[in-house]
Amino acid sequence: MDIKNLVSKMTLEEKAAMCSGADFWHTKKVERLDIPSVQVSDGPHGLRTQGEGGGDHLGLNAAIEAVCFPAACATACSFDREMMYDMGVTLAKECQAENVSVLLGPAVNIKRSPLCGRNFEYISEDPYVAGELSAAYIQGVQSQNVGTSIKHFAVNNQEHERMSGSSNVDERTLREIYLSAFETAIKKAQPWTVMCSYNRVNGVYASENSWLLTKVLREEWGFDGFVVSDWGAVNDRVEGIIAGLELEMPGGCWNDKKIIEAVQDGTLKEERLDRAVERILNIIYRYVNNKKEEVFDREADHRKAEKIAEKSIVLLKNDGQALPLSSEEKVAFIGGFAEEPRYQGGGSSHINSHKVTSALSLAGEYGCIQYAEGFLAEEDQTDEQLFSQAMETAENADKIVVFAGLPDSFESEGYDRVHMHLPDCQNRLIERLLTLGKPVIVVLHNGSPVEMPWAKEVQGILEAYLGGEAVGKAEMEILYGKVNPSGKLAESFPRRLEDNPSFLNFPGTDKQVNYAEGVFVGYRYYDTKKMDVLFPFGHGLSYTTFAYSNLKINKETCRPGDTIKISVDVTNSGQREGREIVQLYVSDKTGTAIRPIHELKGFSTAVLKPGETKTVTMELDYRSFAWYDVGQKDWYAANGVYEIGIGKSSRDIVLEGKINIEGSREKFPVIDRNVMIGDLLACPITAGYVKGNLTKYLQKFSGGSEASEFDLLIENMIKYMPLRSLRSFAGMTNEQVDAIVADLEKLINTSETNRVFSIFY
Ligand code: BGC
């Protein structure tokens, strides 16, 4: 298909119209040229496809019946790339069957605060996990010729004032934390589309931010699809097209006119409009030309949703092997979520689930279970009668399982939580049940961490998150030991909200939110501060145990361009088959930058029979060690020693090794009039020039004294002086300063060390 040729046949009006949707979910067609309309649909963990009319972006109106898979807060805990790929394939087949060209997901915004109402849709507090898992999901969906829309680009980490607020973040933090998952997914998986976010980034709306949408996304990362606005995210349409926003959603024609006028009055070059239309048509035809007839079996997908939930549920605590339950034991199920699980979040990802399996509905198949509602799942209440019934039911049991969690009204798209508590009635009931002196196990249904005032006293905690429509079956399989739990947390659980690094700056005021904690997000903060947490990042238990040995690093040094292989033997040292998630953390020991104590840079999984050992291998490259050096506008890992930690969680590092970085470029000072003389002398490329060419000026400071005195003087007095101060103190002219700046720039740009580095980056 010659898209350029097609665009050349379109009128200005047709091209402008192509840049906004026909309605909530369709692109416009151009009958004259046989350009078809295609449908898009939310996303990310199931299809929210709406029929004609009644479209909305908050999950309020009807949608077709579909299969609700576990939300990203849950699937992230599987740390399983293959599973994410497979879930993507399954979703894409449903898309093909329902004529959906682009599935609106994955959502990879970083979990900055546990309060963000939409954390349940997001993957992790860690950009490496979010990048790896979203790339696998995208590859899975797109393998079936259905597109994805990675969202929300970028720095949309709260719902409060999301449509107008400015996320104010320094560039290093942006690159290392908030953009990094997008970068990985785009470079590895090329999503067909990127959805820009509602918010402003450092003052400029994401929908008209050319730095984000063009410089970073396309020029640096090589994105080749189109950018679509989040629904209603457009501020100035013409600025948007200029910045690199191609498609406005939902549809409407109010902006088509503006585009036409802008071309006519010369504000918008027609080539830019042509380019936007080309990008949109490329994707439309990529889908249309590969359209497949597909049917899907909802029952089979429901079972798949169950298997995914089984890999995602995290066993947080299991004292005295309270779990698994035995069919011989008398068990009390307490809590409305046993009967009606909370398994998905509210808003645009809300699925009209084809069916829902609750744990209670399966009780008869597993053991001897009595049930009491205990509290109303939907609200905070003090119904003494419900409490008393719960206590009576629990008194007759050997073990008590409480199905607790957050009600829909507590967390959703559209607003943030204001605290991290469960409803008080749930905490009170758990405290009362504990007075019976029987083992209490809490099963949690929530999209984001909660405080657990009873955590020390209960014997077991199972984090089911929002585990999709089959969550009840997955819970029963794990509670009764038919399945061995293997998920691990993709986020930290702080003891209390106040411990969270964003606490003082969340959600901001006056439409300004300052990301003052910088790169210290989640475990990067808690671990560096050695702060006690409730459950650390990466934590998760199993019904078996694993032993780690034989850490091998295949090279002693890593140079730019190298790939390093790290291998470790993992042995199932317990009695049951199990799956272990192995984590690799890198720790910069060079002391050349302010960095978190360690950062996750690899993970892998192994399924092991009792007594079995497998070697798990992970790869690192130069970038795994690097931080973003704004001065150099590049990723940079200083030469020197780095530690490799193999962990069961970020707080349980079981094996350690070392590696050296060599051949990295020297860290050059930024050359301008404000460069400090001390920095120029410390840099091997510029030191000679300064000594050779500036001595006569610098000596003025020592009254023309001898060289040895001059060295001392430089060290102690003029190292912090900017070059420009030689005008005031050493009689240099403006022209001389500029000439020196030009010489120094040339020196840096042509140095060998610099070139060695830039081959790779
Ligand atoms: C959400 C997006 C969603 C879109 C369409 C917006 O409110 O932020 O994630 O894809 O609506 O429903």
pLDDT tens for each residue of 626-670 = 999 998 899 999 999 999 999 999 999 999 999 999 998 777 888
Q: How far apart are CA 633 and CA 624, in angstroms?
A: 17
If you search the block for the tokens 């799942």, which residue do you land on?
A: 377
* pLDDT tens-digit readout, 487-516: 999 999 999 999 999 999 999 999 999 999
The number of the ligand 1 atom at minimal distance from the alpha carbon of 43 is: 10
Please tell me which residue in 42, 80, 230, 629 is annotated as part of the active site. 230
Helix (H, G, I), strand (E, B) or coil at 229: strand
Q: Provide the pLDDT for residue 384.
A: 86
Burial of 456 (0-12, 13-18, 19+ CB in 10 A): exposed
Secondary-structure percent of the chain, ordered helix, strand, coil, rounded to 5: 35, 20, 45
* pLDDT tens-digit readout, 347-405: 999 999 999 999 999 999 999 999 999 987 666 677 789 999 999 999 999 999 999 99
Cα–ligand 1 centroid distance for 413 (angstroms): 9
8 A C-beta contact, residue 447 and residue 116: no
Q: Is the pLDDT of residue 755 over 80?
A: no
Cα–ligand 1 centroid distance for 231 (angstroms): 6
Q: Is the pLDDT of residue 88 over 60?
A: yes
The number of the ligand 1 atom at minimal distance from the alpha carbon of 414 is: 7
What are 196's strand-pairing partners? 153, 229
Average pLDDT over residues 303-312: 98
Q: How far apart are CA 724 and CA 733, in angstroms?
A: 9
Q: How far apart are CA 685 and CA 25, in angstroms?
A: 57
- What phi and psi, each to the nearest 5 degrees, are found at residue 510? 50, 45
Residue of the CA atom closest to atom 8 of ligand 1: 230
Q: Picking from 282-286, 408-412, 580-584, 616-620, which range would have the lowest pLDDT averaged per residue?
A: 408-412
Q: How far apart are CA 542 and CA 556, in angstroms?
A: 34
8 A C-beta contact, residue 287 and residue 26: no
CB atoms within 10 A of CB 561: 13
At 58, the pLDDT band (50, 70, 90 cuts) reads confident
Name the DSSP class of 147. Answer: E
| Ligand 1 pocket test, candidate residues 152, 230, 349, 350, most atoms within 8 A of CB | 230
Q: Is the pLDDT of residue 757 over 50?
A: no
Residue % of the chain over a pLDDT of 90? 85
Residue of the CA atom closest to atom 5 of ligand 1: 57
- CB neighbour list of residue 758: distance below 8 Å, 6 or more residues apart: none
CB atoms within 10 A of CB 270: 13
Residue 677 half-sphere exposure toward CB, CA atoms < 13 A: 23
- Cα 458 to chain center, whole Å? 31
What's the Cα-to-Cα distance from 712 to each of 675, 715, 718, 719, rounded to whole Å?
A: 20, 5, 10, 10
What's the chain's average pLDDT? Answer: 94
Amino acid found at 514: N
- What phi and psi, each to the nearest 5 degrees, are found at residue 573? -95, 10
| Ligand 1 pocket test, candidate residues 25, 26, 42, most atoms within 8 A of CB | 42
CB atoms within 10 A of CB 9: 10
Burial of 530 (0-12, 13-18, 19+ CB in 10 A): exposed
The number of the ligand 1 atom at minimal distance from the alpha carbon of 105 is: 10
What tokens appear for 43 in the block?
């996303």
Q: Provide the pLDDT for residue 427.
A: 95
Q: Provide the pLDDT for residue 221.
A: 98
Handedness of CA 534, 538, 542, 548 (dihedral sign): negative
Structural domains of the chain, ranges and CATH numbers in brackets: 22-288 (3.20.20.300), 308-528 (3.40.50.1700), 546-661 (2.60.40.10), 677-750 (no CATH)
| Ligand 1 pocket test, candidate residues 100, 159, 199, 348, most atoms within 8 A of CB | 348
The number of the ligand 1 atom at minimal distance from the alpha carbon of 197 is: 8
Question: H or E stretch including 82?
Answer: helix 81-97
Q: Provide the pLDDT for residue 759.
A: 34
* pLDDT tens-digit readout, 101-132: 999 999 999 999 999 999 999 999 999 999 99
Residue of the CA atom closest to atom 12 of ligand 1: 57
Angle between helices 734-749 and 684-698 (to 10 degrees): 160
Q: Closest Cα to residue 74, out of 651, 545, 455, 469?
A: 469
8 A C-beta contact, residue 653 and residue 586: no
Cα–ligand 1 centroid distance for 229 (angstroms): 9
Q: Following CA atoms 584, 589, 590, 592 in sequence, which dihedral angle do they give, to the nearest 10 degrees?
A: 90
Q: What region, left, alpha or beta, does residue 687 occupy, with left being phi > 0 and alpha being psi -120 to 50 degrees?
A: alpha
What tokens appear for 149 in the block?
């829309």
Cα–ligand 1 centroid distance for 58 (angstroms): 7
Q: How far apart are CA 158 and CA 121, in angstroms?
A: 12
Q: Provide the pLDDT for residue 758.
A: 38
Q: How far apart are CA 265 and CA 269, in angstroms?
A: 9
- Report strand pairing: 193-196 vs 166-168: unpaired
Q: Provide the pLDDT for residue 760.
A: 33
Q: Is the pLDDT of residue 327 over 70?
A: yes
Rg (CA), the chain: 29
At 714, the pLDDT band (50, 70, 90 cuts) reads low
Burial of 512 (0-12, 13-18, 19+ CB in 10 A): middle
Which strands sit side by side in the sheet containing 557-558, from one edge to the other? 557-558, 652-661, 640-649, 578-588, 599-608
Residue of the CA atom closest to atom 11 of ligand 1: 57
8 A C-beta contact, residue 268 and residue 208: no
Question: H or E stretch including 553?
Answer: strand 546-553
- What phi and psi, each to the nearest 5 degrees, are found at residue 263? -65, -40
Amino acid found at 451: E
Q: How far apart are CA 439 and CA 130, in angstroms?
A: 36
- What phi and psi, each to the nearest 5 degrees, are found at residue 57? -105, 15
**Protein residues whose CB sits closer than 6 Å to any atom of ligand 1:** 42-43, 57, 104, 151-152, 230-231, 348
Instruction: Report the b/e string of 645-655 with b at 16+ CB within 10 A.
Output: bbbbbbbebbb
If you search the block for the tokens 């700046």, which residue do you land on?
A: 741
Q: Provide the pLDDT for residue 377.
A: 63
Average pLDDT over residues 440-445: 98
The angle formed by the CA atoms of residues 84, 233 and 507, to the nearest 5 degrees, is 80
Average pLDDT over residues 222-229: 98
Q: How far is it between the farthest Cα atoms of the chain? A: 96
Q: Provide the pLDDT for residue 706.
A: 59
Residue % of the chain over a pLDDT of 70? 95
Q: What region, left, alpha or beta, does residue 441 occupy, with left being phi > 0 and alpha being psi -120 to 50 degrees?
A: beta
Q: How far apart are CA 325 and CA 445, in angstroms?
A: 19
Q: How far apart are the first and last CA of the chain?
A: 34
- Cα 257 to chain center, whole Å? 37
Q: Closest Cα to residue 610, out of 581, 580, 582?
A: 580
Cα–ligand 1 centroid distance for 247 (angstroms): 14
Q: Provide the pLDDT for residue 668.
A: 80
Q: Is the pLDDT of residue 252 over 90?
A: no
Q: Closest Cα to residue 386, out of 404, 373, 371?
A: 373
Handedness of CA 404, 410, 416, 417 (dihedral sign): negative
Beta-sheet strands, E only, within 454-532: 460-463, 493-494, 512-514
Q: Provide the pLDDT for residue 128.
A: 98
Cα–ligand 1 centroid distance for 59 (angstroms): 9
If you search the block for the tokens 């689930």, which residue do you land on?
A: 353
What tokens appear for 34 in the block?
């046989």
User: Would you call 230 a catalytic residue per the annotation?
Assistant: yes
- CB neighbour list of residue 752: distance below 8 Å, 6 or more residues apart: none
